Amino acid sequence: MKKILTPLILLFFLQSCSSDLLNTNPEATKVTSQFYADASQIEQGVNAVYGTLQYTGQYQQAMLVIGEIPSDNTFDEVPANDSFTYGELDFFTIQPNNTLLASTWKDHYIGIQQVNIILNRIDGIQDMPQATKNYRIGELKFLRALMYFNLVRVFGDVPLVTKETTNVNDYFGQSRTPASEIYPFIEKELKEAIPLLPPSQAQKGRVTKGAALGILGKVLITENKHQEALSYLLQVEGLGYSLLPDVTKVFDVTNKNNSEIIFDVQFASGVNGSTEGSPAFQLFSPSGTVAGAKGHNLPTKEIYNLYTTGDQRKSAYIGLTGNGIPYSKKLVKPDSKYPINDGSSNIVVLRLADVYLMMAECYAKANDFTNANLYLNKIKTRAGVASVNLTSQQTLFAEIDKERRLELIGEGHRWFDLVRTGKAVQVMAQHFAVTPGYSTAKIDQHNLLMPVPQGQINTDPAIKQNPGY
């Protein structure tokens, strides 16, 4: 933690000239001990937290990659690319020195430290109205909870740091906090954030009450607390979100921040010297299709063939190259006037379709088959496929699982779904057995967590490695 929890110098981000879009462009480097004296500086600091979501180790790459490549949803076309960083996740040969995992740990803790700094200072700011303070505190608690939720799902036990770090020695020698303590903290953060957040966005990209309710539902489902999760997910429905009738419009960059999107990470092409765009389109395109394409995180043929005839998502969400290689259409190629790594596709963290499928799962868990089918069929009907009327918990769980794959492909959910439902080892072993090229791939229970980055252990021996690595 010594290297990660000591960012006394951080980037701060200002709003752009657009009044309705949260912008996280870097303006200058500030020393935190000399900053945050007024409301304007606090606003810059809050925007800096949003800016960390764009980092490689958060939603620029890591949460999409870790949430998909280890699963049967996506694969790495050329595992040797980028020193096997992504190929290791595909074949479960993951090493503690994996650079993407190092960025995941580091970039989440940079964001957490930034939250801790602002929460430590905001109460003392005299020129900020209390209503604005409450909103910002709600945002910060949500973002910190989201970051810890990502960390605990990826690594398991992680150090729980909730106060501003001004002296590295305060945390040097601290062991990892058990996940059993991390989850209650995440729940508490989100429950405290909900009443502080508005039902709609003042600026596109900002956290709302619906985001906190939905992510809390996801956290509780991960803990197998389905009944409690449902009570929060039901509240999302009354906040004005709606499924778009046309699935081709959900990820259309001309229709960003639409009525289905509850929370997403903002990216834009051609802003601040083309540094605010996303490289995901370039990285996640089949090799040879665009300049510098890496072929990482491509949809598998298995999931492409899982779509039935007439399912509008097949052509809306996945394309095929001339060589028959699938690629995601949820990421849109940048306009030719921008660099290929300066994409404008936002990265969706939560949308209404995900909430409906979580609700269907909660109802199925309670043997309420009427409502389970109702919410499952909302997704099927929108996709143009036949509705179902399933009357057993087992068949409902299987159908909901399939719909989550088909609807949320590439959005960073499948691996975490497999882990939380206890099916990861069985499903992936079967996937390897029937998929050409995976004869050497092997998964066992220790692979359900990623290795702690070796750099963290080298820096602080109190940070112990996960078993099996």
Task: Give the alpha-carbon dihedral of 463, 165, 10, 55, to 10 degrees.
Answer: 40
pLDDT over 60 at 402, yes or no: yes
Nearest to 349 by CA among 47, 19, 59: 59
Residue identified by tokens 């409450």 is 134
Q: Do domains 1-179 and 240-268+346-436 have the same CATH topology?
A: yes
pLDDT digits (tens, 9 = 90+) for 284-334: 999 999 999 999 999 999 999 999 999 999 999 999 999 999 999 999 999
Q: Which amino acid is at 376?
A: L
pLDDT digits (tens, 9 = 90+) for 441-469: 999 999 999 999 999 999 999 999 999 99
- Domain covering 240-268+346-436: architecture: Alpha Horseshoe (1.25)
Query: Which is it for the CA torsion 399, 400, 401, 403, positive or negative?
Result: positive
In terms of Cβ atoms closer than 10 Å to its own Cβ (0-12, 13-18, 19+), residue 389 is exposed
Q: Give the distance from CA 398 to its chain's centroid.
A: 24
Instruction: Please state the domain extents for the chain.
Output: 1-179, 240-268+346-436
Residue identified by tokens 């051609």 is 270
Task: For the beta carbon of residue 430, count every other beta carbon within 10 angstroms.
Answer: 12
**Where does the pLDDT of residue 164 fall: very low under 50, low under 70, confident under 90, or very high at 90 and above?**
confident
Q: Which long-range contacts (CB under 8 A, 24 or more apart) does 301-307 make?
A: 301/326, 302/72, 302/431, 302/435, 303/72, 303/73, 303/405, 303/406, 303/409, 306/402, 306/405, 306/406, 307/406
pLDDT digits (tens, 9 = 90+) for 126-154: 999 999 999 999 999 999 999 999 999 99
- Domain covering 1-179: architecture: Alpha Horseshoe (1.25)
The pTM of the full predicted model, rounded to 2 decimals, is 0.93
pLDDT over 60 at 437, yes or no: yes
pLDDT, mean of residues 209-227: 98
Q: Give the distance from CA 305 to its chain's centroid.
A: 26
Q: Which amino acid is at 378?
A: K
Nearest to 92 by CA among 454, 451, 443, 446: 443
Residues near 52 by beta carbon (within 8 Å), at least 6 away in sequence: 58, 107, 108, 110, 111, 114
CB 13 within 8 A of CB 26: yes
The whole-number pLDDT of residue 33 equals 60
d(CA 257, CA 277): 16
Nearest to 128 by CA among 13, 40, 32, 19: 40
